[in-house]
Amino acid sequence: MAERPARLWPLTDFPIFISKGDIVCKDSCIGRFQKYQNVGRAVAKKFREFLSALTKSKACKPVNSVIKALAAPLILIAIAQEFSRDAVKQFLLDGFLTQPLRWLFQYISPFIQQVGTVDTATWTDVHASSILVFFIAAISLIISIVGWCGPGGPAWSFSRIFSPSNKLPTPNGPRGCPVIGSWTLMQGSEMHRELARQAWAGGPSTRNLMALSVGTTLIVLTSDANVAKEILRSAVFGERPLKQAALDLGFERAIGFALQGPYWRHLRKVAVTHMFSHRQIVTHSELLQRETLRMISAMVHSIRTDCVKDYRVGLCARPFLQRAAVNNIMTIVFGRHFDFGNSCDEAEALEAMIREGFELLGGFNWADHLPLVRHIPFLSFSRRCRNLTMKVRAFVQSILDERRRCHHQSHSATSSVLNTSFVDALLSLEGDQKLQDEDIISILWEMVFRGTDTIAVLTEWALAEVILNQGIQARIHEELDAVVGSNRLVQQKDIENLPYLQAVLKETLRSHPPGPLLSWARLANEDTQIAGCHIPRGTTTMVNMWAITHDSSVWPNPEVFDPSRFLKSEGGSDLDVLGTDLRLAPFGSGRRVCPGRALGIATAQLWLASLLHHFSWSQDLSHPIDLTDNLTLSCEMASPLHGCPTVRFPL
């Protein structure tokens, strides 16, 4: 009676048998994969060619066999990319035991026989799940080895392996870890500083372009103004990488993330003509003045409420700035004002939605870099994004319906706010310019998310530097007293006569750019070259504006807060910060420049002038000012600003 064959892995439903260096499947197993035989044969043919080439190697036979076995899964995946997605998906799911595995085990079996693990002359059934485990282990080992072998991390290493025909070099960069790549460098509240140090330490080549990778994402980062200009003004880099959170929130139809094409060009035209034109900014000046006065009044009320005789009360500026920013953008976008101080349910719901939106858009999401993670609920933001999207759409749709009712009621006493808000501008479009409600919701809500925190963050940084530099504050007070006086409020038209205050704000943008890194991301839509390096299609390019504005070869003594850099009368430069000069372009440049940059700067100038006109500020010794930054969606102060304001002029 024949001896029962040894079983390597038990509990198998689809046994395959090793016999004389080959693998044979039972009829029941082969029949299951009959409909995928064409794909299987084609892949097996290419796979066989690769393995045959490896047999010519003079390496030690057992070692050679192991190398071939470990390389097989990755080569299989690379070859499979030549076929349709559906065919490959089904083949990989159901066809793990067809021709490719037959050839794989043919080359494994000599090694198994040599080390005496099993007699390949006997019949042995193999558990299919164990083969899958072997594949996963093999892939992990290959990634571990290759990931440490090249600059930029594993994604760049595999890019070089599978694109050997390119003659141009790829960018240099720090070595990455297996799978996660350069994730450790791309995390942390001060990653813009760490990336700048890495770029500077690597010399001119890494300052121009530094290769990084996270998961499967190829990234290049520049810390040079000239290279940044080349990238941002190139049509090849005219699109933004669409993060999973932005996609789930519906921003693929908004101005910032829409793909280049007729729809995107139409949105840009609408934004420039109807929303951010000079005429519109002048029209909004009254609204800005009104919201600024509310913010100052709230601060005065807080001081009087908490004031003790002969005692200077400390005040945390951030809540006042953030709520003013929300009301500022909501008034301009929707024509609505929210009273946050009186337990308004709608205001609290709005604040919660904006805060969650910041967390989702600014947070790191592995689903953006490892596609399989999108299907793992606890690692993906998709559910939170969908829940937030439903709330946002209901909120904005109610405003759209309200606006339409007002427009249809000719006898309605509509306020000037209603006639000048962005939502009214979009609803008034007709003919070919008319937009669907879904598009309007995406456009307006993107403006709320992207425009709310920038102004508050910028003003907080400027005020902190002014408090720390009392000489600068004294000079601003002198300028304000000469131009505005003590009998009226600061107005938008006064700003052009306040050059030193403008210089202070520019120096704040240089020292503390609100979006030093993440807001600069662009996507290469085809293979190209930058600074003599090959950049593959699909590469994410980023500009480290913080590194540029702190480069001593561009800005002498970059760590010193010196507004005179921007005063021509004192030997400085009257630099434009709207995107024409990449030495300081905090709001971007090129095709994807922020359309609301002029409105944002005008608002920050008015706020800073008003805060310093009405108050004299000093440090709150119980909460010393800490200039440590924290990079999330924007680069804000890690510790909220506390100061002791003293009223200079009554309202």
Of the CA atoms within 13 Å of residue 202, those in its CB half-sphere come to: 23
pLDDT, mean over the chain = 78
3-state SS of 177-234 is ECCCECCCCCCCCCHHHHHHHHHHHCCHHHHHCEEEEECCEEEEEECCHHHHHHHHCC
The candidate with the shortest Cα–Cα distance to 459, out of 328, 620, 284, 336, is 328
Confidence of residue 144 (pLDDT cuts 50, 70, 90): low
Res 511: pLDDT = 97
Kindly tell me if the per-residue pLDDT of 343 is higher than 90. Answer: no
342 or 61, greater pLDDT: 342
Pair of tokens at residue 478: 């002198």
Letter for the amino acid at 548?
I
pLDDT value, residue 131: 53
pLDDT at position 71 over 50: no
Q: How confident is the model at residue 284 (pLDDT cuts 50, 70, 90)?
A: confident
pLDDT at 524 over 60: yes
- pLDDT at position 26 over 60: no
More confident residue, 317 or 140: 317
pLDDT mean over 569-579: 88
Radius of gyration of the chain (CA): 31
Find the DSSP H helices in 233-261: 244-248
CB 611 within 8 A of CB 431: no
Output 406-411 pairs: Cβ under 8 A, ≥24 positions apart: none
pLDDT for res 543: 95
Q: Which residue has the higher pLDDT, 190 or 380?
A: 190
Q: How far apart are alpha carbons 15 and 6 in whole angstroms? A: 13
Of 381-385, 560-564, 574-578, highest mean pLDDT: 560-564
Q: What is the value of pTM for the model shown?
A: 0.77
Whether the pLDDT of residue 588 is over 80: the answer is yes
208-236 residues labelled b (16+ CB within 10 A) or e (exposed): bbbbbbbbbbbbbbbbbbebbbbbbebeb
Lowest mean pLDDT across 275-284, 446-455, 499-508: 275-284
CATH 1.10.630.10 residue spans of the chain: 251-647
pLDDT in tens, 54-63: 455 444 444 4
- Structure token pair of residue 558: 């970059």
Q: Is 471 left (phi over 0), alpha (psi -120 to 50) or beta?
A: alpha
- pLDDT computed for residue 90 by the predictor: 46
Q: Which of 426, 419, 420, 431 is nearest to 400 (CA)?
A: 426
CB contact at 8 A, 600 and 447? no
**23: pLDDT strictly greater than 60:** no
Angle between helices 61-80 and 85-94 (to 10 degrees): 140
Share of the chain above pLDDT 70, in %: 72
Q: What is the token pair recorded at 550?
A: 């702190």
With bands split at pLDDT 50, 70 and 90, how would you rate the model's confidence at 35? very low
Decide if pLDDT at 141 tops 70.
no
* Residue 347 pLDDT: 78
- pLDDT (0 to 100) of residue 489: 93
Query: Any idea which of 97-111, 254-268, 281-295, 370-384 has the lowest mean pLDDT?
Result: 97-111
- Please tell me the least confidently modeled range out of 115-124, 293-302, 598-607: 115-124
Look at residue 342 in the predicted model and tell me its pLDDT. 61
Round to whole Å and give the CA distance between 175 and 154. 8
What is the H or E stretch that residue 542 is in? strand 540-543
The set of residues, in sequence order, having a beta carbon less than 8 Å from that of 393 and lying 6+ positions away, is: 250, 441
Q: Give the residue, 77 or 476, on which the prediction is more confident.
A: 476
- For 494, residues 6+ apart whose C-beta sits below 8 A from its C-beta are 483, 484, 609
Of the candidate ranges 102-111, 232-241, 574-583, the one whose mean pLDDT is the lowest: 102-111
Through-space distance between the first and last CA atoms of the chain, rounded to whole angstroms: 107
Of 49-63, 112-126, 191-205, 224-238, the range with the lowest mean pLDDT is: 112-126
Q: Coil, strand, or helix at residue 29? A: helix
| pLDDT at residue 196 in the model | 96
* Residue 37 pLDDT > 90: no
Q: Is 594 annotated as a binding residue?
A: yes
Which region among 133-137, 204-208, 278-282, 352-356 has the lowest average model confidence (pLDDT)?
133-137
More confident residue, 77 or 236: 236
Helix (H) or strand (E) holding 11: none
CATH class label, 251-647: mainly alpha
Amino acid 52: pLDDT: 57
How is residue 273 annotated by DSSP?
I
% residues pLDDT > 90 (the chain): 39
Cβ 172 vs Cβ 205: under 8 Å: yes
Mean pLDDT score, 337-355: 77
Task: Specify the pLDDT at position 568.
Answer: 92
Q: Output the pLDDT for position 113.
A: 45
Contact between residue 322 and residue 329 where contact means Cβ atoms under 8 Å apart: no
User: pLDDT band for position 68 (50/70/90)?
Assistant: very low
Res 639 pLDDT > 50: yes
Higher local confidence (pLDDT), 620 or 70:
620
- Please determine, for residue 216, whether its predicted confidence score (pLDDT) is greater than 50: yes
Higher pLDDT, 231 or 651: 231
pLDDT at 227: 95
Distances in Å between the alpha carbon of 285 and those of 331, 420, 443, 548?
A: 12, 11, 22, 33
Mean pLDDT of 626-651: 91
Query: Tokens 């530097």 label which residue?
Result: 465
| 522 vs 164: which has the higher pLDDT | 522
Model confidence band, residue 201 (pLDDT cutoffs 50, 70, 90): very high
